[in-house]
Structure 1
C-alpha cells in the first residue's frame, strides 16, 4: 500500500485512495451476496452439478473477504497493544480464509460431485462431507469473529472508539449470522451486504488522522 493507505500515520488519504480502499474491502462481500442470490437452498440430485460448479467459482472469493480486516490495519505493526492486536487479527483472518475455504471445497465441490455421481449410496458419502464441511465452516467463522474483535481493539486505540465501534457492531452481528446463514438467500445475502457496510465503515474511520498524532502531523502530506 502507498503512504496514503488508511493506517499510515500522519497523512490523510486522497479521496481517490479512500474510494479505492473502500472498493477493495466491499468487492468480495458484494460478489458473495450476488452468488447467494443464485445459491440453491439445499443439495439435491437435480441441482448437484450447479452446486459443485457454483462452489468452484466461490473457491477464490472466500479468502478475499479477509481484505476487510487486513487493509484498515495495513502497515508495520507497532510494539504496543495496537501491534499485538493487529497480529492477532491478521492471524485469525488467515485462519478464517483457510478453514472457510475448506468448507467450500468439502461441502460445496466434494458434496456436489458425490451427489451427482454417487448413485444409490450417495447420501452415505454426502452426509459425512457436510458434517466435515460444517465443522470447518464453524472454525472459520470463529476465526473471523476473533479477527473482528482484535482488529476493533487495534483500530479503537488508534482512531478512537466513537469512529470504530459502529462498524464493529455491524461486523459482529454479521459474524453471528454467518454461523448458520452461509450465503443462502435471504439472510446470507443480507449478511454479506452487512460485511460490506461494516468494512467500509472501518476504512472510512481509518481514513482520518489517528487520534494520537500531534496537530502538526495531522496536516502533514
Structure 2
C-alpha cells in the first residue's frame, strides 16, 4: 500500500482547505446589493471544492474496509463524509448562490429565510464531518497510537470552529488552515516504511 508520507498525497489532502482559505480572503463579510454578484459567483466556483474537504479524512483510511472494528469505523467515516458533502453543498446552494442571486435582483426580503435554511443545512453537514473525523481518528489511533493525537487536536478544533465560521475572514480562514494542518499531521502519523516495506513484492527477505 502506498505511503501517505509523499508530496502527492499531502498535496491531495491539503488542496481543498487551502483553496477555501484563499477564497475566504475575498469572501464578502456581508451580503448587500454591492456584494451580491461576487457572493453568488464565489459560491458557484466553490460548490465542487467544499466536498473535497473530506479527502483529508478518507485518504488515511483508504482501501476496502475489513469485517472488523476498523472496517465499521471506516464505514462510519464514509457516511459522515457523505453527510457533509450533501448538506454543506446545500448551504452553498441556498445561502450562497440563491441568496446572492435574489439580492442581486433586488428581492431582499427572501435572503433572511434562505440564510436560516442554509444555516441548518450547514450545521448538519459540519456535524457529519465531525462524526467522520472522530471515526477516522479512531481508526488511525488503533493503527498508530499516540502519533495521531497532534492531528486529532487540530482536526477537532477546526470542526468546532467550522460550525459557525464558514470561510469568513478571519475565523473561517484560520479554520481552513487548521484543517490543512490537521490533515498533514494525520498523514504523517503513519510510520515511515521500513526497508523491507520499500522493496517490491517478492524481494523481501524470507
Do residues 4 (structure 1) and 33 (structure 2) align?
A: no
Distance 1:219 1:110 in 2: 51
Which of 79, 90, 109 lines up with 1:124 in the alignment?
109
Distance 1:27 1:159 in 2: 24
SS at match of 2:87: helix
Distance 2:93 2:196 in 1: 48
Whether the 8 Å contact between 2:36 and 2:103 is mirrored in structure 1 is yes
Shift of 1:58: 0.6
Length-normalised TM-score, structure 1: 0.86
Which of 177, 184, 195 lines up with 1:200 in the alignment?
184
SS at match of 1:60: coil
Which of 157, 166, 169 lines up with 2:142 in the alignment?
157
Distance 1:142 1:66 in 2: 13
Count of aligned pairs between the two proteins = 200
Describe the superposition over 1:2-40 as per-residue Cα deviations: whole angstroms up to 9, x where unpaired: x3144xxxxxxxx6xx11101100000000000000000
Which of 93, 98, 102 lines up with 2:86 in the alignment?
98
Whether the 8 Å contact between 1:5 and 1:74 is mirrored in structure 2 is no
Question: Which residues of structure 2 form unaligned runs of 5+?
Answer: 201-206
Distance 1:149 1:64 in 2: 18
Length-normalised TM-score, structure 2: 0.92
Distance 2:76 2:16 in 1: 22
Q: Which runs of 4+ in 1 moved over 3 A?
A: 215-221
Matches within 5 A, 1:19-34: 19-34=7-22
Distance 1:90 1:31 in 2: 23
Distance 1:217 1:111, change over 3 A: same
Whether the 8 Å contact between 1:82 and 1:158 is mirrored in structure 2 is no
